[in-house]
Amino acid sequence: MTGLRYTEQMIIASQEGTVPQEGTVLQAGTGPEGICEVNCVHPEAVAEARAALPDGRDVETASAFLKLVADPTRLRLLSALNTRELCVCDLAAVVGLSESAVSHQLRLLRAGRVVAFRKAGRVAYYRLLDHHVTMLIDSALEHARE
């Protein structure tokens, strides 16, 4: 346990009924997965939180999804689509943006499976893909109004 200096955290850990175990201590160094600089850590707490930590891919997926909704322009677009189906031109008019900009955003939203669209001739009508999105938008906006 070179480089480890336990002072206070051992006391706290033992107060919590758990003695720090060497096996659970994360190693300092350059490991690609278990990297961690060790000094003041509560090993028991870290181990518990680590165990409950969601899969890396899921975090990335959830993050990507939330990022799509988090942008103010896209949130406005989605709010508009929350009321009814709309074409690109309408969306541009509603949010006061160029049609090109709207199209770019819709492309992202489509790739992220947030919106769906149907084509009637030259006109593309967009709508929210499922009501998960609707719920998220509503709850986020409600949270904002508090």
Bridge-partner residues for 123, per DSSP? 120
Residue type, 6: Y
**Which positions from 23 to 62 touch a second copy by CB under 8 A, shown as an x/- string?**
---x-------xxxxxxxxx--xx-xxx-xxx---xxxxx
In contact, 112 and 64? CB cutoff 8 Å: yes
Beta strands 123-128 and 115-120: pairing type?
antiparallel
The neighbour count for residue 75, using CB atoms within 10 Å, is 17
- If one asks whether residue 92 binds a second copy (CB under 8 A), the answer comes out as yes
Contacts with 79 (C-beta within 8 Å, 6 or more apart), sequence order: 137, 141
Shortest Å distance, C-beta 101 to DNA:
4
Nearer to DNA, 99 or 130 (CB): 99
With H, G, I as helix, E, B as strand and everything else as coil, classify residue 8.
helix
Shortest Å distance, C-beta 5 to DNA:
4
| Sign of the CA dihedral running 12, 17, 21, 26 | negative
List the single partner that 82 binds among DNA, a second copy, none, CB under 5 to 8 Å by kind. Answer: a second copy
Name the phi and psi angles at 99, rounded to 5: -65, -30
Q: Which residues bind DNA (CB under 7 A)?
A: 5, 7-9, 39-40, 67, 71, 73-74, 87-89, 97-101, 103-108, 117, 119, 121-124
Q: Which residues bind a second copy (CB under 8 A)?
A: 8-9, 26, 34-42, 45-46, 48-50, 52-54, 58-63, 65-67, 69-72, 75-76, 79-84, 86-87, 89-90, 92-96, 98-99, 121, 123, 132, 136, 139-141, 143-145
